Amino acid sequence: MAQGNNYGQSSNGVADESPNMLVYRKMEDVIARMQDEKNGIPIRTVKSFLSKIPSVFSGSDIVQWLTKNLSIEDPAVYLCKRTMQNKARLELADYEAESLARLQRAFARKWEFIFMQAEAQAKVDKKRDKIERKILDSQERAFWDVHRPVPGCVNTTEVDIKKSSRMRNPHKTRKSVYGLQNDIRSHSPTHTPVPETKPPTEDELRQEIKYWQIQLDRHRLKMSKVAESLLVYTEQYVEYDPFLLAPDPSNPWLSDDTTFWEIEASKEPSQQRVKRWGFGMDEALKDPVGREQFLKFLESEFSSENLRFWLAVEDLKKRPMREVPARVQEIWQEFLAPGAPSAINLDSKSYDKTTQNVKEPGRYTFGDAQEHIYKLMKSDSYPRFIRSSAYQELLQAKKKFGNTMDRRTSFEKFTRNVGRNIPIFPCHKNCTPTLRASTNLL
């Protein structure tokens, strides 16, 4: 009890009237009202399986009690009433309009009731005398400026005014909320002074213009388009995902059978591998066989130097640093130097930049040229390769081969699966040829 009596008092026994203590007392009053047996938050016993939990209340109970017993919608009534008064000095500021929209979404179910309250208050105000109405408007405006301050300003219910007024080096502001300029003494105690900003320099303005130009040129997509692209990508690659579909013949990460890896690494690509080349040029370049087939196609069109240059630059990135300068000169002499035997077609900007980079050779000397050639192949050569008869015939041949392999009988599938699990022992020299052949098959 002694502690309770001293609560809210300073060391000299005088009651502390700081804003923080006022807020704490208000919070204590609200909590005491919540704990009231008749009008407080309903507390009940919840039955669980084989047990009971006494004295339980939920978050929704607290929200309902606050909405019912506290005037939470008062700011909404005030702002709504302001919209009904067609006066320039009473127009809503930007932050007030945003607060009104936010409150309208929060109190959507009871907004009609709030609007009726605001309309009734506005009618009562119209009946008052003009001078009295101005005084009440000013008092109401001042009240909400304190309790709902402008964004970026100090809330007096959270910060002590005395501490704010004792600031040693207050910053000057160009304009305070009361319209007085560059006067430290004119600051409202409820607002924090804003530091004086310097005008931007010419270089800063140019950088800002350049930044916004880049932002305007950025390619943006709607969320619906992104979701649609993601669905198409998922449907396209679903048969290659071992988490969604079990790979054939088996998952080498779950079994000791490495046949799947051997098929993927073989020079005879499966139908799935050939089909995957058509998903994008990156898929064809990642597969050694696909890369070889693409190179053969480009040779038939007399443009294989593009892919050979791209591959040479990729190889350059993996070379040790001691080999890089010599390799850069080799690539330059073969593809970019005047009179090169395998000259590639570059735009002037990429060629000039590459020429400068060659003077200080590095792994990424040909980065711009490689990007230009990649885009050229992707937009021109790769679509023709996918439409070419060579790729289509290879795809159809692999499909027919896959259909033939799928026509195995159930006994063949059974013997294949059993053969993976049966240990192979060397056949005796006196065993029959049939038995020896069956043992080798297993």
Task: Round to whole Å and give the CA distance between 187 and 223.
Answer: 46
Q: Give the CA distances from residue 49 to residues 56, 124, 234, in Å, rounded to whole numbers and listed in that order.
A: 16, 57, 43
pTM above 0.75, yes or no: no
- Taking each helix axis from N to C end, the angle separating 304-317 and 288-300, rounded to the nearest 10 degrees, works out to 140
Q: What is the model's pLDDT at position 403?
A: 54
Higher-scoring residue by pLDDT: 229, 247: 229
Task: Round to whole Å and give the CA distance between 185 and 48.
Answer: 63
Task: Round to whole Å and give the CA distance between 325 and 331.
Answer: 10
pLDDT band at 180 (very low <50, low <70, confident <90, very high): very low
pLDDT band at 295 (very low <50, low <70, confident <90, very high): very high
Q: What is the model's pLDDT at position 110?
A: 76
Is the confidence at residue 377, as pLDDT, over 60? Answer: yes
